[in-house]
Amino acid sequence: MRKASWKSNMALKIALIILSVLSWTLCFFGLFGTFYLEQAEIYDAVDEDYARNALESRIAEQYSIVAATSDHYGSEELSQTNFRYGVIEGFTLKEAVAKGLFDDPDAYAYTDFENGIPREGARRVHSYTYQDDKTEVYVPYNLVNDGHVYNYEYETSFVADEEVGMPPEEIFVMTGDAPEEDSVDHTYVVDSTDYTPVEVPNDSQNYIIVSTVADKSYDYNLHDLYNEANTLLMVAYSWNMKNLFPVMAFAGAVLALAVLSTLLVMAGWRREKDEAGEQIERVVLRRRDFFPLDLGIFVAWTISIMIFGVTTGNFFVRYNWLDRMIRMRYVQLLLVLPLYTIAWLLFLASLMSLAANIRYGGAWQRTALYRFFHWIGVSVKRLILFIQGKYLPKHYREMLDAAVEARIKSERFQTELITNVSHDIKTPLTSIINYVDLLSKEELENEKAREYVTVLVRQSERLKKLIQDLIDASKASSGNVKLEIERVNLSVLLTQIAGEYEEKMKDAGIELVVQKPEESVFVDADSRNLSRVFDNLTENIVKYAQRGTRAYLDLTSEEGKAEVIFRNTSAARLNITSEELLRRFARGDESRSTEGSGLGLSIADSLTKLMGGTLTLTVDGDLFKVTVTFPSI
Amino acid sequence: MSTILICDDEPDIVNALRIYLTSEGYAVKTAANGKEALAVLSKEEIHLVLLDVMMPVLDGITALSRIRENSNVPVILLTAKSEDTDKILGLNVGADDYVTKPFNPVELLARVKSCLRRYLMLGGSTDHSKLTVAGIELDDRSKIVTLDGEPVSLTPTEYDILKLLMEHPGKVYAPEEIYREIRNAPAYGSEGMVAVHIRHLREKLEYDPAEPRYLIAVWGRGYKIEAHSITGKEGL
C-alpha cells in the first residue's frame, strides 16, 4: 500500500492552494467592504428604487400624504409609491419659470385646504402664467389660508424669490391631470417655503398631493429633500462600484466552497492496486489523509458557507427582481440550509475523529459518521472512475475479486505443495532407490534381471534429480526463495564455476573459454542462487553443446550493467524459439533423449528475475546464447 | 557392536535401513514415531539414532529435544524437507548430522560410521600436528589425510589447499589467495586451477560431491572448510 506522495497531482495541489488563498482574500475584502458601507449608511442606497423608497419614507415622516385625495379625486392609483415622481426631477421656481413649466395655462392649483384636504367648495384657481421673460408668476387672488381668504388681485404678481406672505402651511401642490373636467400636461409640486416646483412627468397618470399639516415643523424644505434624494441617487447610480464588495465576498465564498469540496474529495480516496496487480482502483478514506482536514478545514468550510449565505441574502434583498423571481426563503431552505447542515456535520465529524483518536487510537473508522463520509468519498471516486470508463459494475468486481482470491489460494496451495511434495514424493522415492540399490547388490542369476536392475538404478537416480529440479523450479517461479542479497564478485564466481566444470567440459569434448575484464565486477545478488543460475547454464553447455567446439563465457561491465554471456554451438538442431526454451520442461526435440529435466533454463530465468536481473536467450542457427544482465556497482 | 535406533513412520524405509545397517554389522532397533523412539531409548542402550522429521504422534524435532534433555546420543536427522530452516532447527536442537531424503545408502552408512566413531572415541587424538575437521583428519608429520579413519590419497597441491583451509576452519579464502599461499607467487589469472583442485578434493572427501558438507564454495568469494554446514551447493 503505497502512500500517495505529495508530488502526485502536484499541479492540482498548487492550483488548489492558489485558488484557496484567492477565495479567502476575496471573501474577506468583500465582507469588509460590505460592512464598511453599511456602517456608513450608504450601503442601503445602492439601488435607485431603494433610494426613492427611502426618500419617500423620509418625506412621509414630515408630510402627510393626502391619501384622502384618492377618494376625493376618484383615483384608485394614488399611493405613496407614486410620490416618487414628484421628487426626482426637481426645479427651483426660477428654473421652473425658465424652463417654461408654467406655460401651460391649464395648470391648476387649489387654494382652499383644511388639514391638507381641499375644502368643500374650494375654488379651483387658474394656474400661474407668465408673460414673456418676466419672472412673475400670477397666482389667484382669492387664495385661502387658514380659513382666511387672501384677496389678491387676479393680476397680482410676485417674484419668485420674494416672501409673499403666504403662510407656509397653506402651500399645497397640485399635480396631475386636471381634475375631472380638465387635463394638464404637467404637474407640479411647489413648496411653500421657497416655492420650489417640482415637475412630474407628463405621462403620469396619478395625482400626487402633498400638503403640510399644521402641527408639523415648517422647516421642511423640499429642496433639501431633493438634495438628499440626489445624494442617495448618486450613490444609487454608482451601485456597480458599491456592489463590488458583496460580489467579491460572494465569489470568494463560492470559490472557497469549491476548493474545500475538492480537497475533501481528494482526501476521500486513494489509489490502490489490488494484490493481483489488476487495474482496479479501490477507494478508501484514509484516516491519515482525513485527519489533517480536522477543525481547520471544517471551520473554513463553515465560515465560507456563512459568507455564502449572507452574500446571497444581500443579493436577494437588494435586487427586487431576484427576490421576486426566487423567493429568498426558498433559497435559504433549499441551498443554504443543507450546506449549513453538511458543514456542521463535517465539523462534528472532525471533532469526533479527534476525540476517537485520542480515546481509542484511531478506532473512529467504526463510527457511523466515518462510514458516511467514507461512502461519500467512495461514491465520488466511483463516479469519476465511471466517467473515465474505468469503473467496473458490481458483478464484474465480484468476479474479479473471486479470481484474485482463487489466485491467492492457488499460490498458497502451491507453496504448501512445494513443502509437502518433498515429503510425500521423496518418501516412496527413498524406498525405491534403496530397494533398487539392495536389488542391485543381490547376486542375480538371471542376466536379463541384472540388466533391468541397472536400468532401474539409473532411472531412479534420474527421477530423484528430476523431482528436485521440479521442486526448485516451482519454488523459483512462485518466488518461494529466501534471498540474501549481498555484494557478489562476479569475476570470482565465474572462476569458481569454470573450475567446477573443467573436467566435465573436457569429458564432453568442449573447450570452455572464459573472458573477463581485469578489474573485478561486482553486482548485488544472492550468491548461492546466482551460482545456481550459472551452474545451470554451464550444465546446459555440457549437456547440449556440440562435441569438439568451443564454448565462451564472457563477463563484461559497462554503463552500470554487468553482463555474463554464455555462448555455445548446439549439438542438436534448435527447432524451438527462445520463448519456448524458457518454458518449463522445454527442450529442443532433438535433445529429448539427452539426460536432463528441461527445467534448468526455467529455474535460471526465474532466479535471475527474482534477484532483479534479466536473462535473455538468443538462438541463431546453431549458436545458442544466454545473456544474464545485472545492474553493476 | 553398536546399536542403532531407526525411527521412521515408513516401514519400507525402516526395513531398507535395517538391511543396510545389519549388513554392516550394527544391531538395529526400530520405532515408528517419536514417542516409540523415546520409549526404546529409555529401555535400551542405543549408540545412534536415525530420526525422521515428519512423523505422526510425535515429530522428530520434538522427539530430538526430549532426547537431548538427558542424553547426548548421536542423532542423524532424516529429512524430506530440504528447507534450510529445518536443517538449522535440527542442528540447533541438537542433531549431530542430517541426511536428506532420498538419500544415497552409501552416504548414509558413511555418516553413521563417522558419527559413531566420534561418539565412541571420545576426545580422540589431541596431537597438535593433527588437524581435525568433522571426519577429516590431517596429519602434517606423516602427510596422511584420513576420512573417518580411512586414508585418502591426495596430490601435493590438494594437500596444501586442504591444509590451508583446515588450519582456519570457517575462514573464506579467495581462489587467488589460496594460489598465493600454496605457490608463494601471485596468481596472474591462473587462480582458475584452484577451483579444479577444490573439486578434486571434494570428490575425495565428500560423500556427495554435488552436495558438499565440508568443502564449501562461498560463491563469489572463495572456499572454506566447515565442520557443520547447512550451506552447500543446494541453493534452494
Q: Quick one: how far is CA A605 from the chain centroid?
A: 47
- Chain B residues whose CB is inside 8 A of the A530 CB are 219-220
Confidence of residue B21 (pLDDT cuts 50, 70, 90): very high
Instruction: Report the gap between the CA of A21 and the closest CA in chain B (Å).
Output: 60
Beta strands, E only, A3-159: 64-65, 108-110, 113-114, 117-118, 124-126, 136-138, 142-145, 148-151, 157-159
* B19: nearest Cα among B4, B32, B9, B31: B4
Instruction: Report the gap between the CA of A536 and the closest CA in chain B (Å).
Output: 12
Q: Amino acid identity of A234?
A: M
User: Which run of H or of E encompasses A394?
Assistant: helix A394-441
* A255: nearest Cα among A11, A20, A15, A29: A20
- Chain A residues whose CB is inside 8 A of the B193 CB are 499
Query: What is d(CA A528, CA A526) in angstroms, rounded to the nearest whole number?
Result: 6
Q: Please, how many CA atoms are within 13 Å of residue A306, restricted to the half-sphere of its CB? A: 10
Quick one: pLDDT at residue A592?
52
Low-confidence stretches of chain A (pLDDT beneath 70) = 1-10, 33-246, 260-299, 301-302, 305, 308-337, 339-340, 343-374, 389-397, 415, 419, 422-423, 583-597
Q: Please, how many CA atoms are within 13 Å of residue A141, restricted to the half-sphere of its CB? A: 6
Query: What is d(CA B159, CA A355) in angstroms, rounded to the nearest whole number?
Result: 76
Q: Quick one: how far is CA A346 from the chain centroid?
A: 17
Instruction: Report the gap between the CA of A610 and the closest CA in chain B (Å).
Output: 13
User: Which run of H or of E encompasses B152?
Assistant: strand B150-152
User: Which run of H or of E encompasses A131?
Assistant: none
Instruction: Report the gap between the CA of B117 and the closest CA in chain A (Å).
Output: 24
Q: pLDDT tens for residues A125-160?
A: 333 333 433 333 333 323 333 333 333 333 333 333
* Total length of chain A: 633
Average pLDDT over residues B113-137: 71
Question: Which residue in A464, A502, A527 is closest to B196 by CB distance?
Answer: A502
Angle between helices A394-441 and A447-477 (to 10 degrees): 150
Quick one: pLDDT at residue A335?
64
- Determine, for residues B13 and A489 on separate chains, whether the beta-carbon distance falls below 8 Å: no
Instruction: Report the gap between the CA of A492 and the closest CA in chain B (Å).
Output: 5
CA dihedral A29, A32, A35, A38 (to 10 degrees): -70
The three cell numbers locating residue A200: 412630474
Quick one: pLDDT at residue A628?
92
Closest-CA residue in chain A for B195?
Answer: A499
The three cell numbers locating residue A351: 471533532
CB-CB contact of A602 with A477 (8 Å): yes
Q: pLDDT tens for residues A514-529?
A: 888 888 888 888 888 8
- Determine, for residues A493 and B218 on separate chains, whether the beta-carbon distance falls below 8 Å: no
Quick one: pLDDT at residue A565?
93
Answer whether A96 touches B (CB < 8 Å).
Answer: no
pLDDT at B6 over 90: yes
- Determine, for residues B217 and A496 on separate chains, whether the beta-carbon distance falls below 8 Å: yes
More confidently predicted of B114 and A203: B114
Report in angstroms the alpha-carbon separations of A173 from A109, A121, A188: 7, 17, 7
Question: Which residue in A426, A492, A500 is closest to B80 by CB distance?
Answer: A426
- Chain A residues whose CB is inside 8 A of the B192 CB are 495, 498-499, 502, 514
Average pLDDT over residues B80-104: 76
Kind of pairing, strands B27-31 and A623-631? unpaired
Quick one: pLDDT at residue A278?
36
Q: What is the value of pTM for the model shown? A: 0.50
- Determine, for residues A419 and B82 on separate chains, whether the beta-carbon distance falls below 8 Å: no
The three cell numbers locating residue A16: 488548489
What contacts A100, CB < 8 A, 6 or more positions away? none
Quick one: pLDDT at residue A223?
44
- Chain A residues whose CB is inside 8 A of the B196 CB are 499, 502-503
Average pLDDT over residues B107-112: 86
- Determine, for residues B236 and A481 on separate chains, whether the beta-carbon distance falls below 8 Å: yes
- Chain B residues whose CB is inside 8 A of the A422 CB are 80-83
- Determine, for residues B231 and A532 on separate chains, whether the beta-carbon distance falls below 8 Å: no
- Determine, for residues B13 and A496 on separate chains, whether the beta-carbon distance falls below 8 Å: no
- Determine, for residues A430 and B20 on separate chains, whether the beta-carbon distance falls below 8 Å: no
What contacts A463, CB < 8 A, 6 or more positions away? A429, A432
Closest-CA residue in chain B for A423?
Answer: B80
How large is the ipTM?
Answer: 0.74
Answer whether A426 touches B (CB < 8 Å).
Answer: yes
